[in-house]
Structure 1
């Protein structure tokens, strides 16, 4: 407290003792404080920078994760009634809730339990599909757009990326995110990389309850097991501080070895997994004549390791993933992308085989990346219909599913049967669709009393300047005209039925009645309603117009 007081005297800041909390790691420490304690004692935990801290690390998981589940459930319940699309719900989760989860996982070394991952994914799926039966499996929504997903975060892989960033500090010998000095003192005399390689039964008893060590060992085994590797032997196995190689603890010869940057086991191994010869180590200046006993100890240790594991150690795919991060530092976003590419839930081989079967081409002839890159600029045809549905739903639809959705095999427009059914054709350039838009625009011209250009930019893309209207209310009215026109076209998207002008006219009037009800709540909304719908109201009969205006 004297140090805080001295700091305040120099800095000009004053410590507010009434609002400051202290957390005792044990009741003995709390009761043994001499004299009155100037701060308030926290009963069981307190929140610091968004994280709930507790005296015992064993309850950190439940306290923080349960709190996140409660806040997530409240947000999902509050957002569920909102009229949002699938993409809108995913974006809402990514912007509001996901940063809270990611922040906690980055600050605390917690490995999420499988049941909690399942519970979270279940809540997320229920929210994304509005409580209805999911139309696409959740794992198809994971990943970036370029990989066929919708940007939904995969929590297991994000969890793995956050923990690997902790471990990356030791792999790269950097100190960007964690206080390595304190951790070295806590785990001394053993090196933490040695502890993650050591089987649980061989760990020192005082370290078995360490939350950090447990989480790092879990992520280490999770990634290595995914590659059929051996978590106990990798190219990052240290020589000094090795729990299973006791001479590496204190012997001066091995301290000298470390001073020459021979710190890992791979530094003294040949390409076939065998130890470098005594002559080679002496010529390189690593060992001198007096270090022959240390060489024999190292030779005996290497011979005790399985040869198959040593061969994997030299050709380590795990190292191929991590080595690029050793120089530039480990980032959660970079690790997540690599993990999703290598460990993601999508079975790419099965998808590849299904695409080849549906497209009727040989496996070697399918160039999927170039096919996906061409999709935005091509029209629907017999070969690319699967790709179009892949883009629209970000999932895999079999032929039976396409059949039940009403999709026709012909690539031609089902309305004019003349041109391919591309998006611009379906919304605008089709002869029969074009006729519908001209009917709509002719009616609007009679309402506004002015000639309007027949513009796709204005009607389809809400480019108000294309109509050259100076009145803001008329511009807002034209926006409603375009939106309702597209809704009518989408209502008869697949099939020979043509969009009806009278369907559009009825939708326009229904929208008027809906906005009239909203306008009755405040004077500002009433003024906005009259500015937008003024021209349309005067096109109605006097009785209909008076009924609407009198209800405001």
Structure 2
């Protein structure tokens, strides 16, 4: 599957390399990689949903208790979805989870009326629930774990370095930026990053999760702070670690310039910049 190459180059590679070439998609580690990123959802999540609902209808046996059915969903169905959530972190519409929820309730209760609300079913056991996995929450958690990988500087995983090319600012600073997603990204059509940022901005305002102005709020490489985007600002490399608010203060005092910038920035101009 030639991605990002001309048709002439694709034909030449096909003639040189004697193996099977696919036109639109290929299977890799249990997932389907498509030529067009917009097709990732249809190629991975739609077949998974259809297969799961078909399996649930086959397992609809009267001798299995409804507690056993909950455990079946937890031990057999959840791992399949969790793997795809992590491997293909694209946007999933809310209707997808509604259809999944409907299939689960039919599997648990059959043709009878539900005796316990879905909210109580999905509540953790230690809080009086039955521990039925809430798949939408697992999906959101799978997306949020990527923020931890973004925040490591330099990146510890190769895919983080690749996603850096989609942003105009250091990727470690992205979760704490307040500028619009379109401003931060070189390509708003990126298949995974915009969805993660939208989700993070929805949940970070919850109590005890993240303050409105985080200590990690960027001073350099910040579209809302134009002086910090100039190359002359503390001589900080655009591709290097960014400067955040927490580094600017020590014991409620402004940190010395020597702890904020490389030695080449120890000039009166840079001292004035940081003071202002």
Partner in structure 1 of residue 217 of structure 2: 237
- Residue 263 (str. 1) matches residue 238 (str. 2): no
Name the CA distance, whole Å, in 1 between partners of 2:160 and 2:19. Answer: 30
SS in 1 for 2:35: coil
Partner in structure 2 of residue 409 of structure 1: none
- How far apart are 1:233 and its partner, in Å? 4.2
Partner in structure 2 of residue 110 of structure 1: 90
Partner in structure 1 of residue 64 of structure 2: 84
Partner in structure 2 of residue 70 of structure 1: 50
Higher relative contact order (CA 8 A, sep 6+): 2
- How far apart are 1:103 and its partner, in Å? 0.3
Which of residues 205, 228, 234 in structure 2 aligns to 1:253? 234
Show structure 2 runs of 5+ residues with no match: none
Matches within 5 A, 1:152-191: 152-173=132-153, 175=155, 179-184=159-164, 186-187=165-166, 189-191=168-170
- How far apart are 1:234 and its partner, in Å? 2.9
- Residue 34 (str. 1) matches residue 15 (str. 2): no
- How far apart are 1:188 and its partner, in Å? 5.5
- Residue 281 (str. 1) matches residue 256 (str. 2): yes
Question: Against the structure 1 CA distance between its residues 263 and 74, is the aligned structure 2 distance closer, same or farther, given a 3 Å change threshold?
Answer: same
Question: Against the structure 1 CA distance between its residues 236 and 220, is the aligned structure 2 distance closer, same or farther, given a 3 Å change threshold?
Answer: farther
Question: Against the structure 1 CA distance between its residues 233 and 76, is the aligned structure 2 distance closer, same or farther, given a 3 Å change threshold?
Answer: same
Contact 1:193-1:237 within 8 A present in 2 as well: no
Contact 1:111-1:159 within 8 A present in 2 as well: no
Please report the TM-score for the alignment, with normalisation by the length of structure 2.
0.81
- Residue 292 (str. 1) matches residue 271 (str. 2): yes
Deviation string 1:523-546 (CA, Å, 9 cap, x unpaired) is: xxxxxxxxxxxxxxxxxxxxxxxx
Name the CA distance, whole Å, in 2 between partners of 1:221 and 1:191. Answer: 18
Question: Against the structure 1 CA distance between its residues 242 and 236, is the aligned structure 2 distance closer, same or farther, given a 3 Å change threshold?
Answer: same
Contact 1:109-1:163 within 8 A present in 2 as well: yes
- Residue 192 (str. 1) matches residue 171 (str. 2): yes
Partner in structure 2 of residue 388 of structure 1: none
Partner in structure 2 of residue 219 of structure 1: 199
Name the CA distance, whole Å, in 2 between partners of 1:262 and 1:45. Answer: 38
- Residue 138 (str. 1) matches residue 118 (str. 2): yes
Name the CA distance, whole Å, in 2 between partners of 1:71 and 1:33. Answer: 36
| RMSD value, Cα | 3.3
Deviation string 1:266-306 (CA, Å, 9 cap, x unpaired) is: 3225899xxx54xx53486767442134225xx4xxxxxxx
Name the CA distance, whole Å, in 2 between partners of 1:97 and 1:247. Answer: 51
- How far apart are 1:200 and its partner, in Å? 3.3
Deviation string 1:423-478 (CA, Å, 9 cap, x unpaired) is: xxxxxxxxxxxxxxxxxxxxxxxxxxxxxxxxxxxxxxxxxxxxxxxxxxxxxxxx
Question: Against the structure 1 CA distance between its residues 240 and 132, is the aligned structure 2 distance closer, same or farther, given a 3 Å change threshold?
Answer: same
Contact 1:199-1:232 within 8 A present in 2 as well: no
- How far apart are 1:263 and its partner, in Å? 2.7
Larger proportion of helix: 1
SS in 2 for 1:53: strand
Contact 1:61-1:110 within 8 A present in 2 as well: yes
- How far apart are 1:254 and its partner, in Å? 4.6
Question: Against the structure 1 CA distance between its residues 201 and 252, is the aligned structure 2 distance closer, same or farther, given a 3 Å change threshold?
Answer: closer
Aligned residues: 267
- How far apart are 1:253 and its partner, in Å? 1.1
Please report the TM-score for the alignment, with normalisation by the length of structure 1.
0.43
Partner in structure 1 of residue 73 of structure 2: 93
Name the CA distance, whole Å, in 2 between partners of 1:176 and 1:289. Answer: 34
SS in 1 for 2:32: strand
